[in-house]
Amino acid sequence: MTDDTRLRATVPTITELSDKGAIVLVLAHFGRPKGVPSPDLSLAQIVKPYEAVLGRPVRYIDWEGDAANVAMLQPGDIAVLENTRFFGGEEKNDAAVIDRFAALGDLYVNDAFSAAHRAHASTEGLARKLPAFAGRAMEAELVALEKALGEPEHPVAAVVGGAKVSTKLAVLKHLVTKVDHLIIGGGMANTFLAARGVDVGKSLCEHDLTDTAEEILDAADRANCTVHLPYDVVVAKEFKANPPTRTVNVHEVAADEMILDVGPAAVESLGDVLKNCRTLVWNGPLGAFETAPFDKATVALAKTAAALTIGGTLVSVAGGGDTVAALNHANVADDFTFVSTAGGAFLEWMEGRELPGVAALLQ
């Protein structure tokens, strides 16, 4: 096991239920076995690390004789059931699998926001079969997300960065209708700059999407959403650690250069935007932050957001795999109001989509 974040996230819910005398059966998946059991994807291997994070004993129950083994558990016991995806019907939300899971318990608690964008037997189906509740981690996630895009305090700013526009088109289209300021950074900004007639040289840029970028800019105009694109950028001829760089106006990028970070002047003015905002939603780094020195803009804006959050003027919510890594790199993840470790579910939420696992709980 490489990272116990997801295990730790469930501790409050599991211990609370166990302390109240429930028999706690943990349903979870690992990897993509697609209905074919395999020892390397068995949840037997998480029992020891789970005991370590919970600080109490954890049993393991496989899918042979599960009902009989569950019947022997005592109030307060915690047991991990085998990988739910060892059933092909799990990902198909199959009725027989839902019944199999439902027969083992009386109540269903969903504590996995990160899996809520999928209508699977253990996420959506079971919630419709048994009395269903949100666990503490799910609850915290939903409260934070509601504060950020549901009923946020305005002005609201969104930072959207990362590599490609194509992966986040739906996010951008939804955000322009929701936020007052849309800050576009990362490789994505290059496509928008190109749409505005800027020559971005060798930068990562989806030239076939410049029309789409223009449509998004028009939609933002109509919705009174101010779009912020970088006006100075850090460029290099080679993408490697610590190459020679130049900080230039976007109109001065040479044909053999690539934009790898937002420039310091733009970052400073983006900080001023955040100072006037009450809410921030952030997905995607502003530059190629894994490679020095192209982490500077992301780190600087993250530190500004963290300071405003600590100061009490900003509610800051961030999510996305690389975004979490970038905030950890900037050492500010703990200072944000909420950092979501859910990748796909967080992005679908940013697209304004209903998450089936959450919808089933609300019903």
Q: Nearest approach, Cβ of 22 to ligand ADP (angstroms)? A: 36
In the residue annotation, 164 being an active-site residue is answered as: yes
Among 90, 124, 180, 322, binds Mg ion (CB under 5 A): 322
In the residue annotation, 222 being an active-site residue is answered as: no
Residue 356 touches which of ligand ADP, Mg ion, none (Cβ within 5-8 Å per kind): none
CB nearer to ligand ADP: pick between 38 and 167: 167
Choice among 201, 321, 343, 352 that is catalytic: 321
Find the angle CA(351)-CA(352)-CA(355) to the nearest 5 degrees.
100
Q: Nearest approach, Cβ of 149 to ligand ADP (angstroms)? A: 16
Per CB under 5 A, the segment of 117-125, 223-231, 297-305, 316-324 that binds Mg ion is 316-324
Among 186, 230, 263, 357, binds ligand ADP (CB under 6 A): 186
Q: Nearest approach, Cβ of 153 to Mg ion (angstroms)? A: 28
The Cα–Cα gap between 231 and 239 comes to 21
CB nearer to ligand ADP: pick between 104 and 160: 160
In the residue annotation, 287 being an active-site residue is answered as: no
Site map (CB under 6 A) of ligand ADP, residues 112-151, x = contact = ----------------------------------------
Q: Nearest approach, Cβ of 259 to ligand ADP (angstroms)? A: 5
Residue 349 touches which of Mg ion, ligand ADP, none (Cβ within 5-8 Å per kind): none
Tell me if 323 contacts ligand ADP by CB under 6 A: yes
Q: Which residue has the tokens 């993840």?
A: 333
Residues in 259-318 that interact with ligand ADP by CB under 6 A: 259-260, 283-285, 287-290
Tell me if 235 contacts ligand ADP by CB under 6 A: no
φ/ψ of residue 126, rounded to 5: -65, -35
- Strand partners for 79: 25, 59
Residue 293 touches which of Mg ion, ligand ADP, none (Cβ within 5-8 Å per kind): none
In the residue annotation, 202 being an active-site residue is answered as: no
The Cα–Cα gap between 258 and 43 comes to 45
Is there a binding annotation on residue 210? no
Tell me if 357 contacts ligand ADP by CB under 6 A: no
Q: What is the 3-state secondary structure (H, E, C) of the chain?
A: CCCCHHHHHCHHHHHHHHHCCCCEEECCCCCCCCCCCCHHHCHHHHHHHHHHHHCCCCEEECCCCHHHHHHCCCCCCEEEECCHHHCCCCCCCCHHHHHHHHCCCCCEEECCHHHCCCCCHHHHHHHHHCCEEECHHHHHHHHHHHHHHHCCCCCEEEEECCCCCHHHHHHHHHHCCCCCEEEECHHHHHHHHHHCCCCCCCCCCCHHHHHHHHHHHHHHHHCCCEEECCCEEEEECCCCCCCCEEEEEHHHCCCCCEEEEECHHHHHHHHHHHHCCCEEEEECCCCCCCCCCCCHHHHHHHHHHHHHHHCCCCEEEEECHHHHHHHHHCCCHHHCCEEECCCHHHHHHHCCCCCHHHHHHHC
CB nearer to ligand ADP: pick between 322 and 335: 322
Tell me if 248 contacts ligand ADP by CB under 6 A: no
Tell me if 321 contacts Mg ion by CB under 5 A: yes
Residues in 117-156 that interact with Mg ion by CB under 5 A: none
Q: How many residues at the interface with ligand ADP, by CB under 6 A?
A: 20
Q: Known catalytic residues?
A: 6, 164, 321, 344
Binding residues for substrate, as ranges, are: 6, 29-32, 85, 118
Applying CB under 6 A, the residues found at the interface with ligand ADP are 161-163, 167, 186-187, 204, 259-260, 283-285, 287-290, 320-323
